[in-house]
Structure 1
Amino acid sequence: MHSIMRSTNALCISSKDRWLLMANTAHMGGINGVLRCLLNGATVYLFSFFQSGLNDLEDYMETHAITVFHAVPSIYRLFIKNLPRQADFPDLRLFLVGGEAMFKNDVELFQRHFKPSCKLVNHLGCTEFSGYAEYIIDHDTVLEEDIVPVGYPAEDTKLSIVDENGKPVENGQVGNIQIQSEFLASGYWRDPELTKARFAIAGKDNQRAYLPGDIGKIRPDGCLVFMGRNDSQVHIRGNRVEIIEIETALLNLPEVEETRVLPFMRAENETALAGYITVSPGQTAETKTIKHCLRTTLPDYMIPDKILLIDKFPLNTNGKVDLKQLPKPDWHEQENPVASVLSEKKKSEQQNRKSTTPVDESEKVKDVYNTIEKRLCRIWEKLLGQASVGTKDHFFEIGGDSLRVIKLFAIIEKEFNLTFPPYTIFQFPSIVKLATLIKEKEKDTALIVLKSIQKANQEPIFWLSCGFDPGQVPLVPLETYWEKRPDK
């Protein structure tokens, strides 16, 4: 309740608000979003990109006169980059984003597209305490650094930076973020070890303190800058991910002997995961097969974008794995069935062990004669950053993820003038299958398709259509009357 009170006061939430929520309601951010609305008498609109797609969102916001847009930064970027230069949302007053890092160009996009009365709020929180810092941005805000600060302490909250021994550090120095408040939980349920590691008594007033595992620094003006995690957690598309869970899932596969999973920053400020594995003696490993197996136990956002097979892990002078010496993944290179950084000897051994099937080069783009397939191939190549794709390649096995699914069907709608819900990809995951679906859909829509052109704040549209059956009532008298009306 105190968390809802803090955000209500900070964001001026009222019963007049119409809140567009795209956060996952299975996570604390989504739960808090629902409660903020219900406890303030506001209206909450749950919108799923994966079910409804990207291109309908603009009309949806206008139709429902949305006042607050709440999403993770990756969804925010997708939406805003799909808009015309000057968007017109007269009721929109607030963009609330959090769960991932925000960057200077994200703010510039906001300032370019939205009216001066609209504000952008970047915030940082955790499940254990909800939002503990927020940074309100308007059209006059000037950022000197590329990373957007997460702002100032929330109401009834004190923030400090401490070293590994819990001692305060000077402003500007990087360290562990510590939250102090009278409204902290007492600890974790039946987990005294974790409680001892994360909760403490701090300050002259012996107030309860919590270490969320975030690192950062405090500027001279008291503004907090988030610098990442100090443990094995990363945020992927707004979801908190434990690296060790992915590594455990990989080690459960019989072909994996040893593994490490590392986060990297891709283009457009997207965090991506690369999994490095050594193959168990006597086993063979294919990157596509490994990803397929992982999907049976892990959600989409936890599947590594790249799987790299290596001979062995490099060690440092202390005998520990030297992560800095691991080869960096090439995000634009399509993964080979037997991956890239194995020695020639190892590759030969793997090829000899497994039953090989000849590669059908007709699957490649150069041999595709079908027009729809050609167009889809070009779309996939650009979207996934691949030099070429096969018409039978599985979307998720060549770099696709949930965000790129949303982009894909937004592009398909513009390219083919056909609308499909993004979850269609699960049933039609290859170009061959998707092309077949598009062909069938084009047959069904061979007649003129009536598109919704009703906009918010527009007079109702009145349609007159001639009858197709004999004996219908003629419309000429009604048309004549309408033309003579002075207010037509």
Structure 2
Amino acid sequence: MESGQRTLVELFEETAARFPDRVAVTADDGDLTYRELDLRSAAVAGRLREAGAGPGSLVGLLVPRTGALAVGLLGIVRSGAGYVPVDPEYPEERIAWTLEDTDVTALVTTTALAKRFTGSVPDLVVLSEDERADGKATPAPPGETAATRRTPPAPDDLAYVIHTSGSTGLPKGVQVEHRQVVRLFDVTRDLFGFDEHDVWTLFHSVAFDFSVWEFWGPLLTGGRLVVVPRAVARVPADLLRLLRAERVTVLNQTPSAFARLAAAGVPPLADLRWVVFGGERLEPGSLRGWFDRHGDTRPRLVTMYGITEATVHASFRPLTAADCARPGSPIGRPLADLAFQVLDEDGGAVADGTPGELYLSGAGLARGYLNRPALEKERFLELPGPDGTVRRCYRTGDRVVALPDGGYGYLGRTDDQLKIRGHRVEPGEIEAVLLADPAVSAAVAVARDHGEDDVRILAYVASDAPAADLAPRLGERAAAVLPAHMRPSGYVVLPELPLTRNGKTDRRGLPDPAAALAPVAVTAPEAGVTPTEARIAGIWREVLDLPDVGRDTDFFDLGGTSLSLLRMFAETNDAFGTDLDITVLIDGATVATLARHIDTALATP
């Protein structure tokens, strides 16, 4: 049977049989060999089948970044069901909506997280310590045959449903089948030569499709998967130590995340073979410092344009030092089983060198959107290809241009979609949350670049309500519903938004936010503020462009991002002459918390 006609389950089980004693997963809670991962995920699969999971069903995955994450994810696909990844850091309302939207048969989670969802899903499968320790599958219920229990998924069964931001105000679930993921690794095998000696990092959230590449890359080839703790992922120096200690050979990064790592003055990493970029636009000029220090042959740097609807990656382009002198954002050539078409606004082909919208076709296209037939019909189209044959295409909304070298360059979006730290963000989804407030008559979400790839979302709202009252209320609502990367960093409240002659919001006519920006959280002067807290609050106001901050308000609730957090922390250390590690904020990033750590450090001889 051709590899493309096989499933992730078959390929993993063959890998586990070939390398039973090799370490498959390294995480904070210990290592798992392939034999242990095989047994423990089989136990979870058995429990899920008893709960009614199997081909055609979906199961939620809500597990922190530990070895249990791999056990749970593999257990779901081995039951025959598709997994629905949910980030535990998402707001509870967002988590509950995702589980309801996908109508999951069960939810795989941990003891600590299970307490949050008692009664809200059909069945909870808790990854208990006892089950993970012995790896024994639960016996089949009376009357159920082994054949019934072990109905394997077929290549065209769903492997997962991952949600991306939706322009209608609701996220959309992208349905991806086993065969689409399997062919991704088939078609890239000769490009990379991955094998059992490679060590990969799981850097990204499993709710982000880049994780599909990171997770299955090592586990289908006998390599080792290193689960990067969230706190480590946020601190470049800590990530560097992990890369060196674990002898990582394959690192996958968004360009903005890699820029922070490169800025940390990374010394040579002898084991690192590949750095794969994806998730957002890459400007090669930003890599000049890296190439000056490390050259362009080891590790090899590669950019891979991709979208969730085309199964993670759709193109391949090695990067060289010479690219730094060339303008634009090259994305390379399509993968061998995909095809690119560049069309104009009327759907006609454009000449090479003329910009147009990218339409993508081939074996990597997802099944479609879950429960969104109108949107699916709009984005997944039947169009004639260059050879005249009709093929199924995905309309990406991305503007590209064919380059003289035979590859393509990325130019931006054809619509208002934003890219925030690798995530596609539809402004309409944010605007729908803001419009739910009865005091808001119109809303627009835009991207605001604060420099050094620190892009934040700014909301303009039309309302007669005082900004000092409305902004905190909208901030609380956004924090309750939206993931951190989608929350506005601030609000500009206007009597009305400017309109074009056609009656649409005039985004170019929106005023400069500097004078009118209202903070997400405004607090009255607080009694008992210490001198240390006052100095830290001043730094926060400057970094976040806010007129005031509260001593007990979380940095991210104020509109902070991972990039602005690093900037704030560095400036705080400089201001106080301290050398604190950013992990002191792991239990809460507030002025008061940081001040306590600063005072303790200054008092220590």
Normalising by structure 1, report the TM-score.
Answer: 0.76
Check the 8 A contact 1:287/1:337 in 2, yes or no.
yes
Q: Deviations over 1:321-346 (max 9, x none)?
A: 2221111333xx7944699xxxxxxx
1:429 matched residue in structure 2: 590
Query: Secondary structure of the residue that 2:305 maps to in structure 1?
Result: strand
Q: Does 1:88 align with 2:268?
A: yes
1:95–1:412 Cα change, 3 Å: farther
Please say which of residues 169-178 and 433-442 is displaced more in the overlay.
433-442
Q: Which string of whole-angstrom CA distances, capped at 9 and with x for unpartnered residues, describes residues 3-40 of structure 1?
A: 12223332222221111231222222112211111111
Determine the C-alpha separation between the residues in 1 that align with 2:255 and 2:467: 41
Which residues in structure 2 correspond to 1:73-472 (within 5 Å)?
Answer: 73-83=255-265, 87-116=267-296, 117-130=298-311, 131-145=313-327, 147-199=328-380, 200-203=382-385, 204-279=388-463, 285-330=469-514, 335-336=517-518, 359=525, 369-370=531-532, 374=535, 376=536, 380=540, 383-384=543-544, 394-396=554-556, 398-409=558-569, 415-421=577-583, 424=586, 427-430=588-591, 432-440=592-600, 446=604
Alignment correspondent of 2:154: none
1:255-290 C-alpha deviation (Å, 9 max, x unpaired): 322211122333123332211111256997342332
Q: Is the 8 A contact 1:20 1:44 kept in 2?
A: yes
Residue 404 of structure 1, CA deviation: 2.6
Distance 1:399 1:197, change over 3 A: closer
Instruction: Write the distance in 2 (CA, Å) between the matches of 1:18 and 1:143.
Output: 32
1:452 maps to none
State the match for 1:459 in structure 2: none
Distance, in Å, in 2 between the alignment partners of 1:191 and 1:393 is 38
Identity %: 25
Change in Cα spacing, 1:334 to 1:437, as seen in structure 2 (3 Å) is farther
| Equivalent AA in structure 1 for residue 485 of structure 2 | Y
- The separation in 2 between residues aligned to 1:66 and 1:328, in whole angstroms, is 45
The amino acid that maps onto 2:280 is E
Letter in 2 for 1:93: R
* Residue from 50, 61, 65 that aligns with 2:247: 65
* Alpha carbons 2:491, 2:519 under 8 Å: kept: no
Distance 1:380 1:24 in 2: 27
Question: How far off its partner does 1:215 sit?
Answer: 1.8
Change (3 A) 1:90 1:381: farther
Residue number in structure 2 paired with 1:38: 219
Query: Shift of residue 238 of structure 1?
Result: 1.1
CA distance in 2, matches of 1:143, 1:357: 48
Q: 3-state SS of the aligned residue for 2:476?
A: helix
- CA 192–421 in structure 1, closer or farther in 2 if over 3 Å, else same: same
RMSD over aligned CA atoms reads 3.3
Quote how far apart the aligned CAs of 1:235 are: 1.6
The 3-state SS of whatever aligns with 1:159 is strand
> 2: CA distance between counterparts of 1:272 and 1:284?
21
Contact 1:287 1:335 (8 Å CA) reproduced: no
**AA of the residue aligned to 2:262:** I
Report the 3-state secondary structure (helix = DSSP H, G, I; strand = E; otherwise coil) of the residue aligned with 2:452.
Answer: helix
CA separation in 2, counterparts of 1:222 and 1:281? Answer: 55
Corresponding residue of 1:466: none
Stretch deviating more after TM superposition (384-393 or 22-31): 384-393
Structure 2 counterpart of 1:429, one-letter code: T
CA distance in 2, matches of 1:110, 1:283: 44
Stretches of structure 1 lacking an aligned partner (at least 5 in a row): 340-355, 448-488
Structure ID, larger Rg? 1
- Structure 2 length-normalised TM: 0.62
Query: Matched residue of 2:212: which SS?
Result: helix
Find the aligned partners of 2:500 and 2:303 in 1 and give their Cα distance.
39
1:350 is aligned to none
Residue 142 of structure 1 and its aligned partner are, at CA, apart by 4.5
Contact kept, 8 Å, 2:315 with 2:335, in 1: the verdict is yes
- Looking at structure 2, the residues matched to 185 and 129 of structure 1 have their Cα atoms a distance apart, in angstroms, of 6
